[in-house]
Amino acid sequence: MTDSDFIKVASIDEIPVGQVKVFEFDDERITVCNVSGSLYAVSDICSHDYALLSEGEFENNEITCPRHGARFDVTTGKALCLPAVVPVQTYAVELRGSEVWLSPTQPAKPV
Ligand code: FES
């Protein structure tokens, strides 16, 4: 992963603990989630069918699809319950000082 893959997208003030914020890159919609002060980024598109995860409930490390209720762990992208079985794509995100930097091309390192 090179530093040039990362884009400065926000200030941490824009994504408080327990909140999400969506960023769009060409065809990609990526949701950055603040889990207790740590940032995680996943695709905003549910892997079951089309729905925007950022419009669902977000609590602790789980985001719930607003359409059929599948839950995903945003730290890993894993689907936690049916009807979704396929994980959502994760993306590398870093906090540099108060700046949020996101890579729309690189997956997150496994946690
Ligand atoms: S579209 Fe998300 S659970 Fe069906």
Ligand 1 proximity of 84 Cβ (cutoff 6 Å): yes
CB of 81 within 6 A of ligand 1: the answer is no
Q: Where are the alpha helices (DSSP H) in 21-103?
A: none
Helix (H) or strand (E) holding 101: strand 99-102
- The tokens describing 60, both together, are 């602790």
The pair of three-digit structure tokens given for residue 110, joined into one six-digit string: 């496994």
Mean pLDDT by 10 residues, the chain (111 residues): 83 98 94 97 98 98 98 98 98 97 91 69
pLDDT (0 to 100) of residue 4: 74
Query: Rounded distance, CA 33 to CA 9, Å?
Result: 13
Strands (E), 1-111: 7-11, 20-25, 28-35, 38-43, 58-59, 62-64, 71-73, 90-91, 93-96, 99-102
Domains of the chain in start order, with CATH, are 3-102 (2.102.10.10)
pTM score of the predicted model = 0.94
The ligand 1 atom nearest the CA atom of 46? 2
**What is the C-alpha separation between 17 and 86, in angstroms, rounded?**
26
Kindly give the number of the ligand 1 atom that is closest to the alpha carbon of 49.
Answer: 1
Q: Measured in whole angstroms, how far is the alpha carbon of residue 6 from the centre of its chain?
A: 15
CA distance 106 to 95: 16
Which atom of ligand 1 lies nearest, measured to the CA of 53? 2
